[in-house]
Structure 1
Amino acid sequence: MPTATPTTMTDRVTETLAIDFGTSNSAVAVVDRGRVFRLPLEQGQDTLPTAVFFPTGGKMKIGAPAGEALIAGEEGRYMRALKSVLGTTLFHEAKLIGGKRRTIADIVTAFLCEVKERAERMTGLTFTRVVCGRPVHFHSADPERDARAAADLAACLRAAGFVHVRFVLEPEAAALANQGANDTEKLGLVVDIGGGTSDFTLFRTGNDGPDILASHGIRLGGTDFDQHLSLTHVMPLLGHGGELRREFGPGLLPMPKAIFVDLATWARIPFLYTAETRREVAHLVKYAVDRVRVERLETVLEAELGHDIAFAVERGKIAANKPEGAGKIALGLIEARLSAEITRASLDTALADMQVRLEDAIRDTLDLAAVTPGEVGTLVMVGGSSLMSLVEEAGRAVCPEARVARTEAFTAVIDGLALAIERRIGTPH
């Protein structure tokens, strides 16, 4: 698909913007007489990280500059994986961020405002309508929270200036953009693994677009892979799984888990940097059997290194995912020469249960349409986390006869959302 510039588009471009608001990355596009134009929101890129940085006393930064500010050590607050908090009470809790009390709803709205303004400057249009992607389920097996999440996102889009909001399921958008990848004699199965959710759409290729047979999704994505790898590979070096001496009497107590889980969770890291949490960790240091490890945790909180750890885990995951991959999760910012070994074998072991969940979800998708694995001719892999080897292995385990089609992993959804504009596909919200 081409990248849009004002000179490449005609006055037939609709005044509806397509937005793929992702857990890890976001993208926008417009459609011109059936042609999709992605709008390069920064540095000529089709996507930008769904991340924000609030400098102390400065203006909010989004995308790559947000990460650059964090890496440069600027004073301020970095936040990522905002989408994963939709539908939860945390989304509407006011916290002191960037010198001002804000909710994550406020921050998501500000992010979407900036995206909308950039798209309007680039095209010369005013966008009052939006077609936005959404997962099949924001939250697995929780219809009430799922509905709240959709309402939260719709409210943020309206607060950003969109009057008319339509949602399209992300894997169905990917099917629309990639139906040509499927053999018309058999069915195609979109396997869309994003940062926060895994979504599946079973479709048949048709002359007027894909015929959707079933869609299904679970709350499991790349940030969950990162969290689990952090808990199994890094957090033990900070005291996770250790023991505490009792204040009174003999015997030992297990180390509390909650701090480590939060430190391994992208969306919760910023909320650990409080005086209360630091006091709690100082208490743990006092009674820890292995004091040195918990002192490292104390260092992480004092120096606010949580996101540095998360990025290091992400890099380690990518390195270990390669055939015969191996590497180290560099933790030198905590302590000189400190690192955690990660190999393809340790990665596969840590994420084995998640592969089983993906296999189960694929089977559930087929069951919804009452089809057999042998009827699936193509597994269409989309989403950044679909590049993980365990995802292809899960697909092959359920549909061993299907071929794997690797498409535009990061932009399949936004292309389909733009095509959905002209086809008037989507559910108003």
Structure 2
Amino acid sequence: MAMFTLAIDFGTSNSAVAVHDGSAVRRIPVAEGEDTLPTAVFFPADKGAMRIGQPAVRALIEGEEGRFMRALKSILGTALFHEPRLIAGRRRTLAEVVTAFLADLRTRAEARTGLRFTRALSGRPVHFHNDPERDARAEEDLRGCYLGAGFTDVAFMFEPEAAALAAQGLTEGTGLIVDIGGGTSDFSVFRVEEGRVRILASHGLRLGGTDFDQTVSMSHAMPLLGHGGALTRSMGKGLLPVPNAVYLDLATWARIPFVYSPETRRLVADMLKHAVDARAIGRLQKVIGEELGHSLAFAVEKGKIAANSGANDARINMAFIERGLAAPIGAASLEEALAGQRAPLRMAMEETLRMAGLGAAAIDSVVLVGGSSLMGLVTSEALALCPGARQLRAEAFTAVVDGLAIASRPA
């Protein structure tokens, strides 16, 4: 009897599962008929059952009392991942939250297929972190979560290499996978030879869509909450700059749940007493007090997407903070905000080619994967590096899980 392996793309922003039945890849619709679901959880304040995916997002949008969390993958390999926190009336670690999320995926996959899964092939970025020790710790953290979720045999595969397997039908010759996800950017050079994919090199860096969101939030939205402003001194003359840390945390998806601490509330209250622009700091106090951080992050993400589509009159709608409040964002201001992230992407692609021992002219096709590969700076940098290559789009949100399923095909 064939032993089936569950292919799992546990992503920073979205997740998906699939299985290879021996003849073809079968994506498993684990949420409302969709092939993917948001990597998000919600713990109701009344201590009800944890919700994942779109129901978690809906609970946040509808203003239900509770704790919303997203981008948990970004915290793998850090001390914060194992630090107990009070979440919906109970102390839990983020490791327990991720374990519960993966266990839910496994239960749903088994219910949809009628199969029992004890083996998992999980995608992972080439580098969770730039530091090798922290990178290894992140994989062990994730392995521990899979084991806690009921899997007994867990293997990992680099996400761009999985995407290369899925791209086999798209291209021939030598290709470059450009996989820009929510938390990392990953690259693989591959060659299709006699119908088989051979990986020549893989590389990656910790930069992704959530970093784009953070940059846009800091440059466009946070100034309306007092970022960049000044405070009067308690004693003496002169002004002090408004502290930066609270804004960085509020602009970082993975850190938003932890900004609602008593210490932060006291800090913001003191900032308000000394604010030169009390109205702006008052908005910040409302965001912290009413826990509107994720609503703001979704608004920033929506504005970013609109500006990336070419709209010059897009806005980050912040009316939930103050009636009529909005931050203008257009293609030009988005480009200016993200300009500093072009060089790391370009250098990472160049390094991948160097590791493969190839020049840009040897690349026949650039295959774009991941939701954030839709960003204009990604496509333009790939085109500038490999102007003679065809630019192809794989299934942005499912190429990795498809490739994982191909790699786990039963013997």
2:121 corresponding residue in structure 1 = 131
Q: CA deviation at 1:324?
A: 4.3
Within 1, Cα distance between the matches of 2:17 and 2:7?
5
For each residue in 1:263-292, what CA deviation from the matched residue of structure 2 results, as whole angstroms up to 9, or x when unmatched? 000111111112221111000011111111
2:55 corresponding residue in structure 1 = 65
Q: Secondary structure at the match of 1:215?
A: strand
Q: CA deviation at 1:182?
A: 2.2
Within 2, Cα distance between the matches of 1:210 and 1:352?
34
Q: Secondary structure at the match of 2:122?
A: strand
The within-5 A match list for 1:3-402 is 14-56=3-45, 57-140=47-130, 142-184=131-173, 187-402=174-389
Query: Quick check: 2:299–2:318 contact (8 Å CA) kept in 1?
Result: yes
* Amino acid corresponding to residue 147 of structure 1 in structure 2: A
Query: Quick check: 2:60–2:68 contact (8 Å CA) kept in 1?
Result: yes
Coordinate RMSD, CA, aligned: 1.1
Query: Quick check: 1:180–1:205 contact (8 Å CA) kept in 2?
Result: no
For each residue in 1:73-108, what CA deviation from the matched residue of structure 2 results, as whole angstroms up to 9, or x when unmatched? 111000000000000111011000011000000000
Within 1, Cα distance between the matches of 2:360 and 2:23?
33
Query: Quick check: 2:364–2:389 contact (8 Å CA) kept in 1?
Result: yes
Within 1, Cα distance between the matches of 2:206 and 2:268?
30
Within 2, Cα distance between the matches of 1:314 and 1:119?
30
Q: How many residues align?
A: 410
Within 2, Cα distance between the matches of 1:405 and 1:63?
29
Structure 1 residues 37 and 143: CA distance shift in structure 2, 3 A: same
Q: Secondary structure at the match of 2:310?
A: coil
TM-score (norm 2): 0.98
Within 2, Cα distance between the matches of 1:366 and 1:340?
39
Query: Quick check: 2:310–2:330 contact (8 Å CA) kept in 1?
Result: no
Q: Secondary structure at the match of 2:408?
A: helix
Within 1, Cα distance between the matches of 2:341 and 2:12?
18
In structure 2, stretches of 5+ residues that fail to align are none
Q: Percent identity?
A: 59
Within 2, Cα distance between the matches of 1:308 and 1:325?
23
For each residue in 1:314-349, what CA deviation from the matched residue of structure 2 results, as whole angstroms up to 9, or x when unmatched? 100110011344311000011110000000000011
Within 1, Cα distance between the matches of 2:312 and 2:227?
26
Q: Secondary structure at the match of 2:97?
A: helix
2:394 corresponding residue in structure 1 = 407
Q: CA deviation at 1:32?
A: 1.2
* Amino acid corresponding to residue 278 of structure 2 in structure 1: R
Within 2, Cα distance between the matches of 1:366 and 1:93?
39
Within 2, Cα distance between the matches of 1:179 and 1:82?
31
Within 1, Cα distance between the matches of 2:273 and 2:310?
43
Q: Secondary structure at the match of 2:41?
A: strand
Within 1, Cα distance between the matches of 2:172 and 2:361?
13
